[in-house]
């Protein structure tokens, strides 16, 4: 596969930030492009940045590009270090949700 | 590039898990609710121990590739809900922590003809205090039981709602999801610290 030829793809699973192994990005980590891709970005790296012009979860990037989750995690880690994308890992559990947010969610679901 | 890419904060993700046995309607309900056709990705999952019924392999790490289906509901500019269907639960627990961590709640789908298929899922969410609802799919109209009988068979407490749905029908799937969201609301309003009036 093409990504195996990309010598940038040396896995760096132990890159730690804020006490967290970054390649452990949760499935629902939200990813968004920080800047438009330039021709310097090639192949899968380009495809990822194109895909997240509108924000989407890591798992959705993987599904849409038919890339393994692990590969997408590593690509995103690099792309974020290089300033191409922002990754937001905070999700909301039931306890984090305030009542106003919940009511907004309910309203949106009712109008589906 | 779209103008919102760099200017505004990206949305937060809200995760809801759809669990249940094989062929119980998990993908159907994701499809009924999602604004995009269900997406699928494969994940390699490692489990430190496997089923207690298989003691010979208990210390062996096992890696399995599982497919998961998911869909998306855009709530508004700042919130996107992802609905994850769990993979078949033959070897329950393989990847569930990865999938369930950070979820706001779950729906457990039940086929009344094989009700015990959902016991593991019920245990899982109960043990982790993750809010859930039980949704019965009526596959065979001849096999129906009163709610009290089902509640008894599952031995779940009264604060876990049991609803009857058709996973293929959007309105019905919506009603199931709304039931779950209302459980979250009552958790907030019922708890002293969660009083919306915040007196
Ligand atoms: N009668 C009836 N049939 C349903 C319902 N939900 C799903 N089905 C049918 O049951 C079959 C299996 O549904 P799926 O949504 O694929 O079930 P699943 O849980 O994703 O299955 P696996 O991923 O294989 O475990 C399909 O043929 C559906 O059309 C329901 O609520 N009522
Ligand atoms: Mg399925």
Task: Note the pLDDT tens digit of each residue in B75-99.
Answer: 999 999 999 998 865 555 556 777 8
Taking a C-beta distance cutoff of 8 angstroms, is the pair B134, B108 a contact? yes
Which pLDDT does position B182 carry in this prediction? 96
Taking an 8 Å cut-off on Cβ atoms, the answer to whether A35 and B6 are in contact is yes
Q: For chain A, what are the domain ranges?
A: 13-110
Which pLDDT does position A90 carry in this prediction? 79
What is the DSSP secondary structure assignment for residue A91, as one 8-state letter? B
Provide the pairing of β-strand B12-20 with A30-33: unpaired
B13 → chain A, closest CA residue: A91
> For B107-165, what is each residue's pLDDT tens digit?
999 999 999 889 989 998 999 999 999 999 988 888 888 899 999 999 998 999 999 99
pLDDT string in tens for chain A (112-residue length): 444 444 454 433 333 333 344 568 899 999 999 999 999 898 899 999 999 999 999 999 999 999 988 889 999 999 999 999 999 987 778 888 999 999 999 999 999 9
Q: For chain B, what are the domain ranges?
A: 6-198
The pair of structure tokens assigned to B177 is 């999801």
Query: What is the rounded distance in angstroms from the CA atom of residue B97 to the CA atom of residue B18?
Result: 14
Say how far residue B113 (Cα) sits from the centre of its chain: 20
pTM for the full model? 0.84
Is residue B57's pLDDT more than 90? no
Say yes or no: ipTM exceeds 0.95. Answer: no
E strand or H helix that includes residue B32: helix B26-33
Rounded to the nearest angstrom, the distance between the alpha carbon of A14 and the centre of ligand 1 is: 40
Of B21, B23, B67, the one to substitute when testing ligand 1's pocket (max ligand atoms within 8 A of C-beta) is B23
Altogether, the residues listed in chain A come to a count of: 112
Chain B residues within 8 A of A63 when measuring between CB atoms: 39-41, 70
Of B24, B39, B109, B173, the one to substitute when testing ligand 1's pocket (max ligand atoms within 8 A of C-beta) is B24
Q: Which CATH number fits domain B6-198: 3.40.50.300, 3.40.640.10, 3.40.1390.20, 1.10.3720.10?
A: 3.40.50.300
Query: Among residues A20, A49, A11, which one has the least CA distance to residue B101?
Result: A20
Which pLDDT does position B10 carry in this prediction? 77
Chain A residues within 8 A of B188 when measuring between CB atoms: 97-99, 102
Taking a C-beta distance cutoff of 8 angstroms, is the pair B81, B33 a contact? no
Query: Among residues B131, B135, B105, which one has the least CA distance to residue B118?
Result: B135
> For B27-56, what is each residue's pLDDT tens digit?
999 999 999 999 998 876 655 444 444 444
To 5 degrees, how large is the angle CA B47–CA A63–CA B98?
25
B191 → chain A, closest CA residue: A95
Rounded to the nearest angstrom, the distance between the alpha carbon of B28 and the centre of ligand 1 is: 6
**Quick one: pLDDT band at residue B4, thresholds 50, 70, 90?**
very low
HSE of B105, CA atoms in CB hemisphere, 13 A: 24
Cβ–ligand 1 distance for B137 under 6 Å, the answer: yes
Taking a C-beta distance cutoff of 8 angstroms, is the pair B59, A88 a contact? no
Per CATH, the number for A13-110 is 1.10.10
């Amino acid at each position: 596969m093409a990504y195996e030829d990309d010598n940038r793809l040396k896995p760096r699973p132990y890159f730690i930030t804020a006490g967290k192994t970054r390649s452990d990005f949760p499935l629902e980590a939200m990813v968004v492009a920080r800047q438009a891709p330039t021709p310097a970005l090639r192949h899968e790296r380009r495809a990822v940045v194109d895909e997240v012009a509108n924000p989407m979860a890591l798992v959705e990037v993987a599904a849409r590009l038919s890339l393994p989750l692990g590969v997408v995690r590593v690509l995103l880690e690099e792309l974020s270090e290089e300033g191409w994308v922002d990754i937001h890992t905070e999700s909301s559990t039931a306890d984090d949700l305030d009542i106003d947010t919940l009511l907004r969610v309910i309203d949106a679901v009712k109008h589906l | 590039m779209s103008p919102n890419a760099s200017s505004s904060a990206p949305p937060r993700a809200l995760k809801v898990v759809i669990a249940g046995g094989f062929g119980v309607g998990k993908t159907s309900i994701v499809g009924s609710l999602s604004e995009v056709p269900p997406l699928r990705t494969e994940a390699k999952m490692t489990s430190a121990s496997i089923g207690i019924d298989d003691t010979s392999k208990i210390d062996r790490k096992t890696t399995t590739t599982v497919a998961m289906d998911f869909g998306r509901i855009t709530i508004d500019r700042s919130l996107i809900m992802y609905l994850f269907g769990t993979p078949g639960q033959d070897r329950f627990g393989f990847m569930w922590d990865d999938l369930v961590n950070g979820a706001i709640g779950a729906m457990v789908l039940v086929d009344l003809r094989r009700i015990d298929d959902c016991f593991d899922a019920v245990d899982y969410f109960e043990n982790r205090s993750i809010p859930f609802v039980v949704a019965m799919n009526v596959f065979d109209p001849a096999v129906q039981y009163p709610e009290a009988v089902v509640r008894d068979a599952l031995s779940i407490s009264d604060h876990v709602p049991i609803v009857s749905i058709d996973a293929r029908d959007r309105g019905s799937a919506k009603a199931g999801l709304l039931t779950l969201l209302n459980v979250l609301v009552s958790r907030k309003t019922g708890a002293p610290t969660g009083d919306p009036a915040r007196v």
